[in-house]
Structure formats: structure tokens, C-alpha cells
Amino acid sequence: MADMIEDGTVIDGVHYHQHDIVIVGAGGAGMRAAIEAGPNARTAVVSKLYPTRSHTGAAQGGMAAALANVEEDNWEWHTYDTVKGGDYLVDQDAAEILAKEAIDAVLDLENMGLPFNRTADGKIDQRRFGGHTREHGAAPVRRACYAADRTGHMILQTLFQNCVKLGINFFNEYYVLDMVMAEVDGKKQPAGVVAYELATGDLHVFQAKAVIFATGGFGKIYKTTSNAHTLTGDGVGIIWRKGLPLEDMEFYQFHPTGLAGLGILLSEAARGEGAILRNASGERFMERYTPTLKDLAPRDIVARSMALEIREGRGAGPNKDYLYLDITHLEPAVIDEKLPDITEFARTYLGVEPYTEPVPVLPTAHYAMGGIPTNTNAEVLQSNTEIVPGLYAAGECACVSVHGSNRLGTNSLLDINVFGKRAGINASEYVKTAPWVPLPENPAKGIRDLLDQVRSGDGTERIAVIRKELQDSMDRNAQIFRTEESLKEVTELIETLRARYKNIQIQDKGKRYNTDLLEAIELGFLLDLAEVVVYSARSRHESRGGHMREDYPKRDDENFLVHTMAYLTGDPESAEAGEHIRLDWKPVVITNYPPMERKY
């Protein structure tokens, strides 16, 4: 096939497009990258959702930056908190970049028009958030810049408006299912992506010099999750199937305050404004676990403390299986001004009046610390040090690793802006001199065959049943507490589910908006990623951050102060569970903060 394809060409029913840069995903990271790339290169943003429906909009609490508008603060304290919060698995060069560039990242958004809450003298207001401190852990600090409790929603709207102003080319409701790679001078490089257009069922090939993945997380491997139904890890799964590594996949964050029984998130902003976690007897139990930061300790510590309270019989409700978030002591005016969304969630979904009643809460699967490994330029790695030319990733799908084994609240909205920006800048520089990578013959054939196979399947298995069994087992066996026995159980189940997945049948055989078909494809990604999470967790014989092994309860810096790098080495459909996965290790970058005991 020719190196250059005229935009709009249709060959054998496949539509071809050509752009210098293709960004996969239109959430915060993808659109922040587009704002940098768009004015400098022909850029397309390809998204399975309309951009303002992306999951960035669900982020509530704030975006960290040491502006010192309300209290004394500086970026070095922010760096320290990020490193310590990540239980010293954070690459400290990345954390320094995050903290230093946070200030400009907030000011960029303000200049784009984001309506932050303000202090009385007109500055951007800031509030407390878990794990953020002054003077290297001395006391909590107000570092989170916020727009009520809908900060992510405001960021998403602001970025989208600025993309529209710049004339960014969006392909909305185009589901990217594959990345086309070709070998150039002995190195594999991306040549473009293959996408399924939801409205027509047509396939589209987007040829590009550079590809940026910004596809978000994969929380739907769990049953109880704050993640939307669409967060199935497609981008991470595509990278995995291309034989590229995934980093630190065993580390998954469970946010302390999901609505009990539902997982819908109640922001940490509530505790930042003074909300208190209580057990069935009304005790403020976090004082026993973290006397200094109390309810504003890092999320992994709070979630584990909550799970222990329930395990030891101090839970509330008929089954003693949840705890309470109490904001009844706050002024209603403060609640209405700063926490309008989460209070409405409590009323709508649980029928609880937060002015007068504590809200039932339970930890919920929230955020992947691991993902596609990148360096600080957002370039994707194919080994510990070697990059894939022209391939970038940013946001939750990426692992830079700025969050280590536990992300601090408000660092995710910061991450998408700092490293989304870096991805856009570096990709636009790269394409100035990079040659076009030729597409192989019939680049959409693999995906067309996969779709036809799923559509024509006449098996007896149902997608929803297999997905539910996976999610239930992940909740039971690979959530806050893990053991070799529990992880082995879910590993064996995944092997069984893979066999059953070959025998699926979907009800909708059509092409237009065939969500039945797409959920079948998504389930394949979920099975892949759940297996990598569990396999990586089985191999890390220690407890660190979001990974708590009850059979290895202590942190082991001597053997495991390293990043996990997982590689696909065979066909998961034909191999025994785990035999197609190879693990390697990558050193943690340490600059100013050697590992210490983690006290709060």
C-alpha cells in the first residue's frame, strides 16, 4: 500500500484518513494534548464517546498545585507528598515535573476560562485533600484548586470549548479497536489506528506519523467501581496485544467513599471540607489509624482502615457491611456552595438527607496506578529504557510513574493536564521531521475478521454473564486484601472464562450502534487486563500502597522497590493461565527522597 493515502479514500468498504497526529480518547488528557498539537500539526481526536461524556467529567474534588493562595506551600512539599503517598514506588523525576508544572497547569486552565472557586480577594481558592501536607508531613495543607465538587466536569467543558475554538478535528463515537504497526529500520512504529464507526458499522483507518493514547482506565474489571460502563481499558488492551509492556498493573486504587452497594463516588472534597468517617457506634475511627491526618490520610490507608473496621465487626447496617460519611456538622450553606453534587447523589441514589443523616459508604474501585509505561516526555516504552518512536500515552491509561503504588487525590486531574500537554508538545515536534510509516496491505482485515466472528457466533454463552462472574471474582479475590489463594482462584476462573468466551453469541447482528457487539469486544479487553492485574499481584510478595498481600503484610524494599513490567509472550487463547505472560522489573527513579517508614 502507498505511503500516502488521500484523505477520504474508500477501499473495499474501509474509509482512510490521514493526519500527522491521531489522539485516541477525548477526555482531559486527550483534549489537553490536542490543544498543544492542533495548532502545529494536522490532528484528529478519535473517541468512542462524545468528548463531554468522557470520564474526566466524573472527577469531583480538585486539582493540586502549590499556589500558596490560602496557606504557605511550595512544589517541593508537593513532590514529597506524592512520593510518600505512592509508598516510594513513584519515579521521583516525574513527581518533580508534576509538582513544578502544576502551577502553570492551573493557570493555563484559568486563562482558558475555567471558573474556579475564589477567595474573598479574588484568588483561586484551595482546600485540603488526603495526603497533601506542609513542611514534609507536619500538618495538612490547602493545595487543591477546585470548582465546587465538579472540577473534572469544568475541566472537560473548558478543554472542549478551547478545542472547538482551535478547530480541532473530532471523530466522535468512533471506537478504536487496533493500532497498526510497521517495522522501520528494525524498529516497530505505529502507522495508524483502526476504528469502528458506531453510527454505520463502517471501519476507518487513520494513518498518522504519531499516535497518542489517552483512553482512561479499566475499572470495569471490578463489580463495585466508580468507573463508567465505558471504562473497559481498550487502549491499554490494544497496547498489550501488540506485545508492548504494561507497568505496575497490580496497583489499583480503591476510593474510600463510594456510595454503599453502588460504588458511585462521593468526593474526598467532603473530607477536605471537614466531613468525618464514622463506624456504627459513631466513633471517628481514623484517629486510631492515622492520628495526624485522620480522615485525610492517603486513600490506600483510609480504604484499608475502613475494610478492617468492617471485618472486625464495627460496620453499620443490617449486615454490618458499610460505614458512614458524616457532614451533618457542616453548615448547609457550605454544603450547598462547595459540595452540591455529592449531596444530591446521596439523596437520589440512597434516599439519605446529608444535612441531617450520615451517608452509607464503602470503598470502591476507582483508579489504575499502572498502565502503558512512558517516560517523562510521554513517549511509550517498549522496554525499560527504549521508546517506540511516534507513540505516546497520557492520563490514567499511562504509567509515567507519577503515582507509584497509590495516587494522591487531586493528582489525577493534574496528571492529565501536565502529561497530556507534554504528549501534545512532543508529538507535534516529532512529526515535523518524522517520515510517514507505510501501512501494510489491508490494515483493517484483522479487526473486520474479529467483528465478523463475534457477529456470526452461535454459541450458548452470554456476555453479561461472563462479565459478571469476572467482576464478582475480582471483588472477592483481588480487591483491597489479597492472598496467593485468592489470587489463584481468580486466575483459574479467568482461564475458564476465556474458554467460555470462545462460545459466545450476541443478539444484535446489525451494524448501526451495535452495543451488543462492542460489549463483546470490550469483554475481551477486560479478561486480558484482569489477568495481567492478578498475575502481577501474585508475583509481588509484599504489601505496598494499593496492593495489600495479607500473606506478605510488610513492604519489602530489598526485593520489590522496583516497577513490575508485564509482557505478552504468547497467545492467551491457547496457553494455560499465566504461561503467556512474562514479568520483568524496572528500577524506581530516586532523587531526593529515599524510602522511609510511612507514618501519618
Is 299 considered catalytic here? yes
574 annotated as belonging to a binding site for a ligand = no
Residues 6+ apart with CB under 8 A from 460: 503, 505
261 annotated as belonging to a binding site for a ligand = no
Residues 6+ apart with CB under 8 A from 398: 29, 213, 214, 371, 372, 373, 374, 378, 419
Asked whether the beta carbons of 405 and 248 are under 8 A apart, the reply is yes
67 annotated as belonging to a binding site for a ligand = no
457 annotated as belonging to a binding site for a ligand = no
Count CB neighbours of 475 within 10 A: 18
Cα–Cα distance measured from residue 337 to residue 125, given in angstroms and rounded to the nearest whole number: 13
101 annotated as belonging to a binding site for a ligand = no
- Cell 462479565 belongs to 467
Asked whether the beta carbons of 377 and 426 are under 8 A apart, the reply is yes
473 annotated as belonging to a binding site for a ligand = no
Q: Quick one: cell of 466?
A: 461472563
28 annotated as belonging to a binding site for a ligand = yes
338 annotated as belonging to a binding site for a ligand = no
Q: Coil, strand, or helix at residue 462? A: coil
378 annotated as belonging to a binding site for a ligand = no
Q: What is the DSSP string of 230-265?
A: T-S-HHHHHHHHTT--EE-TT-EEEEEEEETTT--B
47 annotated as belonging to a binding site for a ligand = yes
Chain-centre distance for alpha carbon 342 = 21
DSSP H/E element including 567: strand 562-568
27 annotated as belonging to a binding site for a ligand = yes
545 annotated as belonging to a binding site for a ligand = no
Cα–Cα distance measured from residue 326 to residue 147, given in angstroms and rounded to the nearest whole number: 22
59 annotated as belonging to a binding site for a ligand = yes
Q: Quick one: cell of 323?
A: 460505614
Active-site entry in 32, 127, 278, 299: 299
29 annotated as belonging to a binding site for a ligand = yes
56 annotated as belonging to a binding site for a ligand = yes
| Cis peptide upstream of residue 401 (ω within 30 degrees of 0) | yes
Q: Could you tell me where the beta strands, DSSP code E, fall in 287-386?
A: 323-326, 359-368, 372-373, 379-381
DSSP H/E element including 210: strand 203-213
Q: Phi and psi (nearest 5°) for 496?
A: -65, -40
Q: Quick one: cell of 565?
A: 513490567
Helical H segments across 540-580, by residue range = 557-560
232 annotated as belonging to a binding site for a ligand = no
Q: Could you tell me where the beta strands, DSSP code E, fall in 385-504?
A: 387-393, 398-399, 481-482
50 annotated as belonging to a binding site for a ligand = yes
Cα–Cα distance measured from residue 313 to residue 310, given in angstroms and rounded to the nearest whole number: 5
64 annotated as belonging to a binding site for a ligand = no
396 annotated as belonging to a binding site for a ligand = yes
58 annotated as belonging to a binding site for a ligand = yes
* Catalytic center residues: 299
Provide the annotated binding site.
25-30, 47-62, 234, 255, 267, 366, 396, 407, 412-413
Residue positions forming the annotated binding site for FAD: 25-30, 47-62, 234, 396, 412-413
Instruction: Write out the binding residues for substrate.
Output: 255, 267, 366, 407
